[in-house]
Chains A and B, each alone.
Chain A
Amino acid sequence: MSVETGTPEAQRAAARAGHGPAQVPAPADAAVAAAHRWGRLRAKARTYVLVAVVLAILLSYVGYPLLQTVLLSLTRNGELSLANYREFFNLQRPTNLEALGNSLYLSFWTVLLSAVVGAALAFFYHRYRFPGSTVFATLVITPMVFPPLVSVISYMWLFGEAGVVPGLIRDWLGLARAPFALKGFSGILLIHVYTQFIYFYMLLSAALERFDHSVEEAAAVLGASRWYTLRRVTMPMLMPAFVAGALITFMVSMSSFSAPYMLGDRFRVLSIQIFMSKLNGNMEMAATQAVVLGLICIIVVLTLRWYEGRSQYTSTGKGVGLRPIQMSRGPVRVAAVAASVLLSLVLLLPHIMLFIISLVPTGTWTWQTVPPVLSFVNYGFLFTRPALWAPVKNSVIMAGMATLAGVLFALVASYLVTKVRFVGRQLLDALIMIPWALPGTIVAISMIIAFNQPLPTTFGRVLVGTVWILPLAYFVNLMPLVVRSTSASLQQLDNSLIEAALSLGANWLMVFRRVILPIVMPGVLSGALLMFVHGFGEFTASILLYVADNRPISIGILERMQFFELGEAAVLGIVQVILMMIVLVVTRHWLGTRSHQAYF
């Protein structure tokens, strides 16, 4: 430690106050200096041990598989080469380019239609009040409690080739064949809009709730017309919600697997191409397709984060909420209620259909347009037939394991990312968020590529073909949900609370147990519940990674469908819907968080 003399001013100030320059000399001897260095080191040691652990997990299970995938995409017959990319972008055999084009085309239309539907509903329910309007506004999010695979199946039962609705129309009009059937591009698009308009709806609803309507009044007082105000004031302030909604919808749509898989027909998208390449054993091409799709998704997420950071319009003052317009005239009210009831029915139709099918005993519904026999017998099978309860049990165990690991990981990782300054924080943050950006298909492919050989990080075992790879994939793919919601809670946690506890003599364990944990618990719990339901119903990674011993519930549904045990398949779907409803209610009402927050 070098000895500096105080500056003249400091000395003068000290002298003036009757205190000479510091009387205790600075420690010059090596022992004290060493003690000081040790003290400084210890303060940082704990941080870096935690960082090392988190980084090791991320590099082993996120970084390494992705690196292997990129490397494999650059390999042809064991040699470094761009042959795979030449093949992908080959204009003579444009299968892959077509799939890429289809993915982009589908995503474009999904974004556009979802924006129109979501925005219209958000504005409508924000501005107008009529009997039951708040209930209807909540009912709009019912597509949220529908796992993608289950909603596709319900839609097929409703509108598919042997669907009830086209069948009823055929009978009613006396046609020879059903007038339409849900399949191909338009079928996928319909399901996409049904499941994804809620992103726009929820983001815009939240933005409108926060919107300070006094700025519109200010614009009016300044002489702006309504149109000018809308264009120059209202829209720019709502723009962040639109952009975020568009980016999220685009990404989800690019990654979408269930709908194209079930309904795709000849309409191939990139995620399906990856799956087909894997089935054909062409892992080099699967890796190449995964890299292309993954890059698009990562670019979208980076854009989203950049945009979020750049344009947050929060009102400066207390703000004035909009006084909603009461629909007082009779006919208008009736029309609004009727439209809302109709909308709710349309949104609930797949749920209703799923429930009805779950009541159909196997073999009773063959040529009839509507099922002739209804009974609860299938629900009993949930407890007696291993084909039904085994997938449920498997999914509970695997999703539970992944969630437990996710929570432990998220507590440490979120703490580091939000509360600690250290070198490499950006890298850590990025490695956590990348799996969130990547479709399950890519996570699964990268794991197949990386873990088909024994590695130190897999305890010297080949993970592919074992029951362990699937929960690991759930962990990697869904852990960002818990990290995001935990981080959000931690950001709310004032650092001074931690400091207050430390200054009162609490050790780290006590600070964590008594101060941090109780306060962030709602965030952790809602993230954990969300991760659990997503893991529970996971289909995209599961179909690539499951083995006979750990068939999850989504694979169980597919199998029941293949055996034409529609009722049993629907029962498994109902189990998922009920679980998701419970989670939605718990997170929204008990934990006071909105489960969708973890998505954004």
Chain B
Amino acid sequence: MKHLELIQLTKRFGPVTAVDNVSLDIARGEFVTLLGPSGCGKTTMLRMIAGLETPDHGRIVVGGSDITFTPANRRGFGLVFQNYALFPHMTVMENVAFGLRARGESQETVVREVRRALELVRLAGYEQRKPSQLSGGQQQRVALARALAARPEILLLDEPLSNLDAQLREETRAEILRLQKDFGITAIYVTHDQAEAMALSDRIAVMNKGRFEQIGTPAEIYTRPANPFVAKFIGHVNVLDGKVVAVEDGRALVDMGFARIWSTLDGQQPARAGQAVHVCIHPENLQVAGADAPNAMAVEVDIVQFHGVTTTMRFQAGDQTLHAVMLSRSAAAGLRRGERTFLAVDPDDVLLLAATA
């Protein structure tokens, strides 16, 4: 069931087109992330949904009614800012009560709902503190409580975790997901962190230069990136230049200069012989193997980095570079810089993307 519809939205700032004719439907209770590098237009998208920017073109529809020009203060959405935007001169209580008071709720309701919201984010007892007396994580939770207190049907989050340290980020991530699922809120989340997007989202919309590069579930986007941009952005995928040499039995043979490997075409874009392609291989799908293994590539070890559970390696292969991730306890992790070896990859894990001219 469609809850929020973004229809052909365009927003320009002077000569810059921040959002360029973008459409997206979001179902009730869905968690959708707008993922992209800084300046890709994702925050502008969110601000248009919140009513803080007016689109130059296009419409925003919620539950069937057009809200494109409804002012922000009549939309009733919850919005969490990157810098939290807590009112510094108000207590936690007053901050969280702000939206309820703006709606003219009775004092009784305000007190009850504020308590409920603060319990949700586990900050009961902090009512009389000022934001400056709270840690970053606590401030973040107050911002969340403030956005949730008035029970919005749509929650918008603009990089809410980017100012937290790594551990707190993971904890809060789980917290946000729990609240969103418990209340069945429709959530739109903006981030440039692909790991965060993967962990939270029902669907991810990868944005670049004001447009969607790909929309899909985290698994779809990870395993089947639509183009080299998505492939590179979503993970440390190896993207190599190659050329299709032959196509037979639903497989394609690709020449990458230093090696020729097979790719299973099942579920992929069609390929034809002579076509220039990008060859995408996830680092975890590369195995150290013997020279006679299928799809083996001769490489030389360049850099070895130990991370604890895993070890990442960079290999030189002809004039191209390959990254691989392996478990540190595997024998291959013992390779040293300068050693020559072979890497193999399952043809099912070799993704071909048409090279744009």
Contacts and interface: CB of A to CB of B under 8 A. Distances in A.
A19 B99 CA distance: 35
A9 interface: yes
A507 interface: yes
Contact of B61 (A4, A12, A24): A24
B214 A22 contact: no
A65 to B, nearest CB: 36
Chain B contact residues, majority secondary structure: mixed
Interface string A9-45: 1101110110101111011000010011011101100
B212 interface: yes
A144 B203 CA distance: 64
B218 interface: no
B126 to A, nearest CB: 19
B51 A503 contact: yes
A26 B7 contact: yes
Most buried by B among A4, A7, A13, A40: A13
Interface in A486-509: 494, 496-497, 499-507
Most buried by B among A19, A23, A42: A19
Contacts of A514: 87, 98
A515 interface: yes
Given A26-B58, A39-B69, A16 B216 contact: yes
B266 to A, nearest CB: 16
A29 to B, nearest CB: 12
Nearest to A506: B102
A505 B21 contact: no
Contacts of A27: 59, 66
Contacts of B203: 17
B272 to A, nearest CB: 19
Contact of B212 (A13, A40, A515): A13
Given A6-B21, A17-B203, A21-B23, A503 B73 contact: yes
A32 B71 CA distance: 17
B271 interface: no
Given A9-B211, A22-B5, A506-B98, A499 B85 contact: yes
Contacts of A4: 8, 21, 57
Interface string A512-534: 00110011000000000000000
Interface stretch (B74-82, B132-140, B242-250): B74-82
Interface in B77-99: 77-79, 81-83, 85-89, 98-99
A35 B8 contact: no
Interface in B205-243: 205, 211-216, 226
Contacts, number: 140
A114 to B, nearest CB: 38
Contacts of A501: 87, 98, 102
A35 B87 CA distance: 34
Which size bracket describes the interface of B in this complex? 35 or more
A502 B72 contact: yes
Given A22-B5, A503-B52, A506-B98, A17 B81 contact: no
B85 A17 contact: no
B54 interface: yes
Contacts of A13: 211-215, 226
Contact of A40 (B54, B76, B98, B211): B54
A38 B70 CA distance: 11
B24 interface: yes
A22 B75 CA distance: 22
Contact of A16 (B59, B72, B88, B215): B215
22 contacts: A6-B8, A7-B20, A10-B23, A10-B211, A17-B203, A19-B215, A21-B23, A22-B23, A43-B69, A496-B85, A500-B86, A501-B102, A502-B51, A503-B50, A503-B77, A503-B147, A503-B156, A504-B73, A504-B98, A505-B99, A506-B98, A518-B89
Given A9-B213, A13-B226, A36-B68, 10 more contacts: A4-B21, A16-B226, A19-B24, A26-B59, A32-B66, A502-B72, A503-B156, A504-B150, A505-B103, A505-B150
A-B pairs, top 9 by smallest CB distance, nearest first, are A39-B69, A17-B215, A504-B99, A496-B85, A503-B79, A500-B85, A505-B102, A502-B72, A506-B102
Interface of B: 5, 7-8, 20-25, 50-52, 54, 57-59, 61, 66, 68-79, 81-83, 85-89, 98-99, 102-103, 146-147, 150, 156, 203, 205, 211-216, 226
